[in-house]
Amino acid sequence: MILKPLLVLLSLTTAALVCAEDSLPPTLMTTRGKLLASEDFAQAPAPFTGKPVGFASGYLGWRYNSSTTGGKSGRWEIANQEFRGMETPGANHPATASYGIQYQDAII
């Protein structure tokens, strides 16, 4: 006796979900776009261009610290096509790096 009302409820719920999905706009989250950046680290990247605004905007290219003294954060080195980040003594902060690109209407 309980089985029939449960089946009706399940059918109505499924129908409501299907109708709701039909009214949603299409998503781009799973659509592959063009490749925005690629790096093989065969050599040190060129210095970034532009003027940084904060840490992650206003410039193009790689921004990272490669000095052996480190500074406020860690440092990076490139060897054997590897980009290695390490904390430097006294910094108490891991190495940080960012890559500036221009984009519009991006899903990140």
Residue 4 lies in a domain: no
Asked if residue 107 belongs to a domain, the reply is: no
Total domain count, the chain:
1
Check if the beta carbon of residue 75 is closer than 8 Å to that of residue 68. yes
DSSP state for residue 40 in the 8-state scheme: -
Please answer whether residues 28 and 106 qualify as being in contact, where contact means their C-beta atoms are separated by less than 8 angstroms. Answer: no
Q: Which residues pair with 60 in a beta bridge?
A: 49
Note the pLDDT tens digit of each residue in 74-107.
888 888 888 898 888 777 888 888 888 887 776 6
Q: Are 78 and 43 in contact (CB under 8 A)?
A: yes
pLDDT tops 60 at residue 8: no
Could you tell me if residue 90 is inside a domain?
A: yes
Name the pLDDT band for 45 (thresholds 50, 70, 90): confident
Does residue 50 belong to any structural domain of this protein? yes
pTM of the entire predicted model: 0.58
Domain range enclosing 87: 36-102
Q: Is residue 15 part of a domain?
A: no
pLDDT digits (tens, 9 = 90+) for 48-61: 888 888 766 788 88
- Could you tell me if residue 96 is inside a domain? yes
